Amino acid sequence: MSASVRTPVASAQVFLAGLIDYAGLFPPASLDMMSCVRNYSRYLKSQERWALGRYILPVARMDEFLSAKENVAGDPWKLSGILSMNIVDDLAAVDGFNRKARGAVIDAVELRVRSTEDIELAMRHLPATTAAFFEIELEHAKALLPAVRRARGYAKLRTGGVVQEAFPAIERIAEFLTACAELGLAFKATAGLHHPLRCMHPLTYETNASEGLMHGFLNLFTAATIAWSAARAGYAVPRDALATCLADEERANWHFDEHGLTWSGEEEPVHVGLNVLRTMRSEFALSFGSCSFEEPIADLRELDLL
């Protein structure tokens, strides 16, 4: 996977650093545990390891993970545990895992919530050293994102799935980014972001799979940069620009160099300097979960970003 990879320019490396959480257990890949553990171990040894984030693990499968990883050496892995609706029991299981596990630590959890009570319940039982990402239905974002912010949690945006109906409209994503930027609320994304740019692509890996219009992670994280930069400067978030960026399919509109990122999809190009980009990635747009690490990397190489 690494043979033809070159070192990216500074702004591309900052933009992509730790961006891809590996979720190979989940659809459409749906790999077995041993395959995922071996894959992640290999990715950690690859030239692209700097772009790799956490290993995504359902809490219900922690024992299976420990058995698969038993003979895999190396530095401790950082995991994100996917909780069920049994929040209290799952968090207790995470605490037990972290006490006994060797070579791995669950330092983040992710869970779907439907109310402020769910958020408050999770935070009451969450260790101080563990980050919590709350996935909220977009139609409830306006009501629940402030509660996530008050609880010192993080937001989670679902951007797709294995059917076209699972992909939210650009306008809803722009609303989510605007709300998070105005609140100063960091987030991660998940699902459907296998490709850098918005495109038509098969929705699964099955032969003759249906194609659908998929969001791109370059689109999403550039739009997040625009939203965050505006809010940070005290300006109104330019929602129309976010929508335009999220819809942009032209590689030529993205320019990375040693000084920053320029997106020229509008009449007035947007330039973000290296230090601002670095702060944005560490404080706002954190990562996205993907069932493939190799597919995004291959696409970035095709776009001459790696």
DSSP notation for 45-105: TSTTGGGEEEEEEEGGGHHHHHHHHTT--SSPEEEEEEP-S-HHHHHHHHHHHHHH-SSEE
pLDDT reading at 5 higher than 80? no
CA distances from 54 to 23, 72, 78, 269 (A): 9, 16, 5, 33
Q: How far apart are CA 225 and CA 273, in angstroms?
A: 11
Say if CB 123 and CB 149 are below 8 A apart.
no
Q: Which helix (H) or strand (E) holds 276?
A: helix 274-283
In this model, does residue 2 exceed pLDDT 80? no
Per-residue pLDDT at 299: 96
Neighbours of 234 (CB within 10 A): 6
User: What pLDDT score does 108 carry?
Assistant: 98
In 3-state terms, what secondary structure has residue 237? coil
Residue ranges of domains in the chain: 10-302
Question: How do residues 11-31 score in pLDDT, each as one tens digit?
Answer: 999 999 999 999 999 999 999
Tokens for 89, please give them.
Answer: 């029991």
Where residue 113 falls among pLDDT bands split at 50, 70, 90?
very high
CATH architecture of 10-302: Alpha-Beta Barrel (3.20)
Type of residue numbered 293: F
pLDDT of residue 72: 84
Mean pLDDT throughout 149-177? 96
pTM, two decimal places: 0.95
- The single-letter DSSP state of residue 165 is G
Q: What is the pLDDT of residues 234-292, one digit of tens each?
A: 999 999 999 999 999 999 999 999 999 999 999 999 999 999 999 999 999 999 999 99
Q: What share of the chain is helix, strand, coil (3-state, %, to 5)?
A: 45, 20, 35
% of the chain at pLDDT higher than 70: 98
Strand pairing report for 285-290 and 270-273: unpaired
In this prediction, residue 4 carries a pLDDT of 56
> Nearest to residue 156, comparing CAs of 136, 141, 182, 176?
136
The DSSP symbol for 190 reads E
Helices 217-232 and 239-247 meet at what angle, rounded to 10? 160
Place 74 in a pLDDT band, splitting at 50, 70 and 90. confident
Is the pLDDT at 3 greater than 80? The verdict is: no
Task: Decide the pairing of beta strands 199-202 and 270-273.
Answer: unpaired
Average pLDDT over residues 76-97: 95
- The identity of residue 213, as a single letter, is L
